């Protein structure tokens, strides 16, 4: 049996500039971190040697890869040319459709697991995992998504991720020391809005809109916030970091309909009124998790103001997709 643990991520500023309609014109850039919530992918020999079994929200048993309904599993197994006699299972700490990049964590984790199973773990570098996960999701499956989640899950940590016009992706660790990471983490408050959504429709509209001059200008402004946000974390200036989050969220809402709604706006305003420096919705929009930056002495006030929402404690992590178990015989 092989077990892989792949982290979920939170993106702070620059989200949306990882869509091709933007970065093919201007380099995109995001600042994100991985957290201690994970996608777990396990694989082992299946009893029936002429079949493949997959377990996710459903269970499939097939005799040929092409018969798999799950598009990501089918694409990965076709690419890697895996054999029958295999069972692959997934378990996640967070529901899908909540803005933490769960689909890409699933893709990265599955690639990592099956490469290890094939005896090719050394080839499954963070760079290879990020790029190949993009090839699967954006290339094979034509998903209308960006490229940040795949690289965040593969590399792990607090990073500036840059998307070049030639499709190259550069990942640079921010390099905060333990004290800086602890201080940043202590300012983060997450709340679950209680709904899941598909990002696809929002991202299709946003990608189409990104060609418009006013959207391009907004996205370029969001890119410019990345180095400023990074410097604010380095300097421990969390009030300014919160202001940048607020400005980024305001611009984000202008990129497509459906990113926000009255419930989201009400929750956001309640958090700001309770003393948060700033915040944003994680992911493409429409639901999931609301993030706030606030000093620890304001956390109780935030909980009271948002008592109808579920607080969701997380810690920041530095580890990307990792093998956590491997039998001598798999």
Return phi, psi of residue 199, to 5°. Answer: -80, -15
pTM: 0.94
Q: Tell me what pLDDT residue 168 has.
A: 97
Q: Tell me what pLDDT residue 284 has.
A: 62
C-alpha neighbours within 13 Å on the C-beta side of residue 224: 8
Q: Per-residue pLDDT for the chain (330 aa), expressed as one digit of tens each?
A: 999 999 999 999 999 899 998 999 999 999 999 999 999 999 999 999 999 999 999 999 999 999 999 999 999 999 999 999 999 999 999 988 888 999 999 999 999 999 999 999 999 999 999 999 999 999 999 998 999 999 999 999 999 999 999 999 999 999 999 999 999 999 999 999 976 555 555 555 555 655 566 778 899 999 999 999 999 999 999 999 999 999 999 998 887 666 888 889 999 999 999 999 999 999 866 778 999 999 999 999 999 999 999 999 999 999 999 999 999 765
**Cβ neighbourhood burial of 275 (10 Å; 0-12, 13-18, 19+):** middle
Q: Indicate the fold that domain 2-176+317-325 takes in CATH.
A: Ribosomal Protein S5; domain 2 (3.30.230)
- Portions of the chain given CATH number 3.30.70.890: 178-314
- Portions of the chain given CATH number 3.30.230.10: 2-176+317-325
Cα–Cα separations (whole angstroms), residue 57 to 4, 74, 90, 330 = 18, 15, 8, 24
C-alpha dihedral sign at 259, 317, 95, 200: positive
The correct CATH number of 178-314 out of 3.30.70.100, 3.10.20.90, 3.30.1490.20, 3.30.70.890 is 3.30.70.890
CA terminus-to-terminus distance, the chain: 5
């Amino acid at each position: 049996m092989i077990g892989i643990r792949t982290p979920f991520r939170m993106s702070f500023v620059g989200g949306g500039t990882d869509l091709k309609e933007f970065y093919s014109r201007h380099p995109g850039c995001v600042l994100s971190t991985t957290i201690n919530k994970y996608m777990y992918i396990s694989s082992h020999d299946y009893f029936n040697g002429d079949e493949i079994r997959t377990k996710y929200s459903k269970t499939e048993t097939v005799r040929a890869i092409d018969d798999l309904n799950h598009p990501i599993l089918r694409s990965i197994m076709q690419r890697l040319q895996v054999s029958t006699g295999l069972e692959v299972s997934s378990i996640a700490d967070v529901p899908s459709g909540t803005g933490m990049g769960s689909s890409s964590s699933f893709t990265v984790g599955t690639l990592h697991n099956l490469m290890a199973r094939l005896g090719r773990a050394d080839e499954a570098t963070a760079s290879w995992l990020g790029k190949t996960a993009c090839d699967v999701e954006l290339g094979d499956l034509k998903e209308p998504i960006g490229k940040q989640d795949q690289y965040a899950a593969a590399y792990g940590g607090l990073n500036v991720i840059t998307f070049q016009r030639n499709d190259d992706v550069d990942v640079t660790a921010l390099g905060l020391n333990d004290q800086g990471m602890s201080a940043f983490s202590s300012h983060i408050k997450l709340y679950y809005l209680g709904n899941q959504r598909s990002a696809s429709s929002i991202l299709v509209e946003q990608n189409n809109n990104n060609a418009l001059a006013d959207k391009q200008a907004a996205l370029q402004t969001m890119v410019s916030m990345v180095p400023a946000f990074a410097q604010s974390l380095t300097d421990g200036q969390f009030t300014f970091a919160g202001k940048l989050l607020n400005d980024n969220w305001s611009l984000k809402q202008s990129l497509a309909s459906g990113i926000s709604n009255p419930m989201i706006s009400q929750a956001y305003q309640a958090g700001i009124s309770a003393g948060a420096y700033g915040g944003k919705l994680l992911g493409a929009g429409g639901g999931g998790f609301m993030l706030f930056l606030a000093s620890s002495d304001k956390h109780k006030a935030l909980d009271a103001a948002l008592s109808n929402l579920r607080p969701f404690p997380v810690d920041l992590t530095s580890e990307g997709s990792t093998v956590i178990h491997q039998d001598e015989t798999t």
